[in-house]
Structure 1
Amino acid sequence: MLEAKLAEAGTLKKLLDSIKELVTDANFECNEEGLNLQAMDNSHVALVAVHLEAAGFKRYRCDRPMPLGVNLSSLTKVLKCAKDDDECTLKAADEADVLNLVYEAKNSDRIAEYDMKLMDIDSDTLGIPDTDYDAEIKMPSAEFARIVRDLSALGESVRIEVSKEGVRFASEGESANGSILLKKEGEIPPVKTDKERKAEKARARGEKPEEDEDEENDGDDEKPKEKKVKKEKVKKEKDADEDVEMDEDEKDEEEFKPNSDDEGEKSEPEEEDDEEEESGKKRKKKANGSSKPAKKAKTAKGKGKAKKEEENQPYFEFGMNSHVSLTFSLKYLVNFSKSTSLTNMVELRMSNEVPLLVDYDFGQGFVRYYLAPKIGDE
């Protein structure tokens, strides 16, 4: 039996809106880890992979792995009956022919229930290999959507080139050509491997990466010896570096003294205020002649403007192991960009003669698109 409850139906609605034009019928593979969908478009040029984690649901139960064959356009129509903030519960019995959807309103006692017929879809899940890419681009999803939308008005394809100069999107049409360059100053970092990326995600969740667990299991016998050697070295270093530690303490004291002086300076104006109460004329002159508060106000305004400018600037970064230049169909990239409503950031990973990966990673899962490059276009 399957029972999956989402806190907001809007998440599922946005997810289906982003893939319904590429895929018509697909299987939701349900298991203990969550819901998975993998399908190709009719021309077998693009592949869509969707994953909703079990932890992202308010309540999740799946007794055994089961497929749910769904027509995405029909499911979209049923989901339109729910508000974005309604709680959505998906229910299906073992070997059931019907998917039950329940919408619960948060601000009222309204409960809506719908049944949708399931389909028998024969589809083989493709094993997507772990690939180490030569270039990686991370940018705002809205900026990516704008670029592909603007260039699609000029031509049918776009050339994405990653070099030391930056990332260039170029399109050539019959009447006009267009090129957009995203530059970033500084050194270009290398692209992280697939293992490093998985290890980072595991650490972010508070889990131990597989590599760390393997090292712990393999090095159990060697660790006690290493610890003893390290302890002896630490003792010797402590004996040899006692003078250095004293010097650092003296530096800390020296750094602390100016703070005490500042406190003394702060106390002096209080004495001056007492004297100013006795002589009202001096107090007026000092109040009129003091320009320090005005300067502070100006600097505060300047900092606020700088922060606003930093927030308005698009966040962009990229890594590169080698020069990459590939050409793709803009029609598909425009369809991919419909996932912008799910997350603010998008990642593009590229390698020569390898499909492009467009990754939209949001809090409850991810949507990944794989697009084959065009061959023969310069």
Structure 2
Amino acid sequence: MLEARLQSASVLKRLLDAIKELVTDANFECNEDGLALQAMDNSHVALVAVNLDAAGFQKYRCDRPMPLGVNLGSLTKVLKCAKDDDMVTLKATDNGDVLNLIYEAKNSDRVAEYDMKLMDIDTDALGIPDTDYEARVTMPAAEFGRIVRDLSQLGESVRIEVSKEGVRFASDGEAANGNVLLKQTEAARQRYAGWGVKKENMDDEEAGSSNKKTKKEKNEKKGKVKKEDDEEAENTDADNVEEDDGGAPESDKNSDGEAEQEEEEDADEEEASNSKKRKRSSASNNKNAKRVKKSADEGDSGGVAIEMSQAVSLTFSLKYLVNFSKSNSLVDTVQLKMHSEVPLLVAYHFGQGSIQYYLAPKIGDE
């Protein structure tokens, strides 16, 4: 059985709006790690890979791996029935043929429920090899979207050149030519430092810090309890001089009770720590995005950050890049990864996961 609850329906709505024109039917593969979608467009030029991490959901349960075959157009229509701030829950049973969607208003005065028929889609997962890209460009998503939309008015293709000077987008049309150069700046390099890094690494660091703090608190508590026990034991020994041998000293009973209370407190602390780790997993993924958004709000949104082992120049279809840029509704930052022998990777990382597009370059006069 699958049960996945998102705090806001707007995430799914924006996600589907970004990919529905590229992909018609696709499988959401569900497992204990979350939901994943991988599909190619009809012309087999572009591939989209979506990941929604289990930690990004308010509640997530998946008893066994299962595919959810959906028509993205139909799912988009069903999601339009939800308000952006509605809490949405996805439910599906093992071997079921229906996806159940429940929308709950924030004030809990409205609950809407919809059932959508699932499809049997036979697709093979494509292996995406790990690639050591020759150039990585991190930049504002809105700026990327504006550039490709503007250049699409001139021609059908864009040449992306990455060098020490910066990244240049150039398009040659029948009536006019145009190019845009974004120079790398130190401010942009600092702003985007660590953007897109796997959140597991950050979680491990934060969890380690949390564990050290918890361990220190436990040791301090145990030291305090031991000190109190010793003081009580001394007082009890003095009192026992006048007591009979019958019955256990009251101090032993108190000591046992405090030991049990200490164990219960430790268990509560451990349970609270595990709960915080899950929340931290989602929050840490937003950390860099919030920093980027803050910089944009302060007016420092220009420039790019470039990591490069060698200069790269490749040509791509603007039609696809314009479609990719629709994902800027999910996050403020985009990363372009280029290699002379593999497809372009356009990556967006947001609070609940990531969406990645792969686009084959144009060759010659194609």
TM-score by length of 2: 0.71
Separation (CA, whole Å) in 2 of partners of 1:19 and 1:320: 29
- Return the letter of the residue paired with 2:323: N
Say yes or no: does 1:72 pair with 2:60.
no
Partner of 2:121: 121
1:137-185 deviation line (CA, Å, top 9, x unaligned): 0001000000000000000000000112211000000000000001125
Say yes or no: does 1:350 pair with 2:348.
no
- Return the letter of the residue paired with 1:205: D
Instruction: Confirm or deny: 8 A CA contact 1:353 1:373 kept in the other structure.
Output: no
Instruction: Confirm or deny: 8 A CA contact 1:47 1:370 kept in the other structure.
Output: yes
Partner of 1:164: 164
Structure 1 residues 198 and 106, CA gap change in structure 2 (3 angstroms):
closer
Separation (CA, whole Å) in 2 of partners of 1:136 and 1:127: 21
1:204 to 202, 205, 208: 202
2:319 to 314, 326, 331: 331
Q: Which runs of 5+ in 1 are unaligned?
A: 190-195, 209-306
Separation (CA, whole Å) in 2 of partners of 1:114 and 1:6: 16
Separation (CA, whole Å) in 1 of partners of 2:34 and 2:198: 21
Query: 1:202 Cα deviation (Å)?
Result: 2.8
Partner of 2:45: 45
Separation (CA, whole Å) in 2 of partners of 1:84 and 1:133: 37
Query: 1:94 Cα deviation (Å)?
Result: 0.3
Instruction: Confirm or deny: 8 A CA contact 1:327 1:377 kept in the other structure.
Output: no
State the percentage of identical aligned residues. Answer: 71
Separation (CA, whole Å) in 2 of partners of 1:336 and 1:168: 18
- Return the letter of the residue paired with 2:155: G
Partner of 2:140: 140
Separation (CA, whole Å) in 1 of partners of 2:173 and 2:101: 46
1:297-335 deviation line (CA, Å, top 9, x unaligned): xxxxxxxxxx99963442521111001000000000000
Partner of 1:274: none
| Matched pairs, number | 275
1:333-365 deviation line (CA, Å, top 9, x unaligned): 000000000000000000102100000000110
Say yes or no: does 1:373 pair with 2:348.
no
1:183-232 deviation line (CA, Å, top 9, x unaligned): 1257x99xxxxxx9997643212269xxxxxxxxxxxxxxxxxxxxxxxx
Equivalences for 1:1-378 in 2 at 5 Å? Answer: 1-184=1-184, 201-206=199-204, 311-377=299-365
Separation (CA, whole Å) in 1 of partners of 2:172 and 2:311: 21
Separation (CA, whole Å) in 2 of partners of 1:207 and 1:93: 37
- Return the letter of the residue paired with 2:70: V
Structure 1 residues 308 and 36, CA gap change in structure 2 (3 angstroms):
closer
Instruction: Confirm or deny: 8 A CA contact 1:50 1:368 kept in the other structure.
Output: yes
- Highest Rg: 1 or 2? 1
